[in-house]
Amino acid sequence: MIETDVIVVGSGPAGSSAAKHAALGGAKVILMDKKSEIGSPKRCAEDVPVKGLEKLGIELSPLWIAKKIWGIRIQTPDGTDLWLPKDQTDPSEADCVLERKVFDKHMAMDAARAGAEIRIKTLVTGIEKIENGFIVETESMGKKQDFKCKILIAADGVEGHVARWAGLRPAAKAKEMGSCVQYEMCNVEFEKQGFIEFYFGSCSPGGYAWIFPKGDDIANVGLGLFSHKAEKTAKEYLDDFVAKSPYLKNAQAVELNVGGDPAGGMIEKIYDDNIMVVGDAAGQVNPLTGEGIVPGMIGGKCAGQVAAQAIKEDCSKKFLKFYDNMVREELSYDNEAYKKVQEYVYSLSDDELDEIGHALEGESFDEASSAEVVKKLIEISPKASRYLGKLV
């Protein structure tokens, strides 16, 4: 039996953030991942807001930035374009597109440099609740090994096995889980360089399609379905989108990524005696955009800090409630607000989306953000004002 203070299951950005901050707080930490290579395969469109990384104290590195983003392009079903900002000529660095396979390793290395021990190719096969913590059962390269910890942090993604085994419900109900598929492609053409692109309407019912540049002719091209009224699979919708896009007529796929996106907001219970849940496993995802890197890392940071203090004081759920309070203060308002916007936008027909596009086409946007679009939408649409006015 190997004993430690904290075990973090899952070395994505949320898990590595939790391990790093628990170790910085003086806890003895083991970070486990079932994969033999951290960060691979990717299940992400890889766009991330720069301000979010800066808030977490992460210095940008050319090693894991694939493309700096100037702004956002939004296209409605009839081809109406909104460019945010409209007359951008220099990179704003509002966002960047990552190379997740490098970024995730970088974050895990940060955790290791803070003092966490990393165990790759280590599959957690079960957990057992004991009086003062958990027994974590693992298998690695055919060898079984048990670990004992005072605090268990579940960062194992949308599958959320650890949380379920501990008696906490999964991150998202089936109706709240998006079905996402993506190609990484070369020979992609861009009308303007440095813009992430969103396409709304029947091309991706209840969601959107995207083209996120990773180079001069390289992009992640994908979509997410958040409607159970969809008549085809996500991949069939994506293949149709690729076939119809004038920017993808010569594009070739070099990678296929698939996965679920828990866009229903944070789960009700993200902690219990000796356990906390972070990242996708906790539903710490922006419900409007599906972006989960920064919210998950914020959740991980909060959990790591609370874990380090709990080891010194009290590992019961009474103390771990501090984590719940911290992370909800950081994320909950945005989650609730964006969930309302998601419900509204994803309910619109192609004609309604086109009408909004026409009304906003000549508008000037101060910044490239979804919040800016929502503000303008409320200004020009009585229906949007009635539904979303209280959010601004």
**What crossing angle do the helices spanning 293-312 and 13-24 adopt, rounded to 10°?**
30
The reported pTM is 0.92
Give me the pLDDT at residue 178, please. 84
Residues 6+ apart with CB under 8 A from 26: 308, 311, 312
pLDDT of residue 223: 96
Structure tokens at 73: 């392009």
| E runs forming strands in the chain | 2-9, 29-32, 47-49, 65-69, 71-75, 81-84, 95-98, 117-119, 123-130, 133-140, 143-154, 177-186, 195-200, 208-213, 219-225, 252-262, 271-272, 275-277
> 36 Cβ partners below 8 Å, 6+ apart?
120, 121
Cβ atoms < 10 Å from Cβ of 335: 21
- Closest Cα to residue 113, out of 15, 19, 9? 19
CA angle 29, 326, 389 (to 5 degrees): 140
- pLDDT tens, per residue, the chain with 392 residues: 999 999 999 999 999 999 999 999 999 999 999 999 999 999 899 999 999 999 999 999 999 999 999 889 999 999 999 988 755 555 556 789 999 999 999 999 999 999 999 999 999 999 999 999 999 999 999 999 999 999 999 999 988 899 999 999 765 666 778 899 999 999 999 999 999 999 999 999 888 999 999 999 999 999 998 766 688 999 999 999 999 999 999 999 999 999 988 888 888 899 999 999 999 999 999 888 888 999 999 999 999 999 999 999 999 999 999 999 999 999 876 677 778 888 888 788 899 999 989 988 877 776 666 777 777 777 777 777 777 766 65
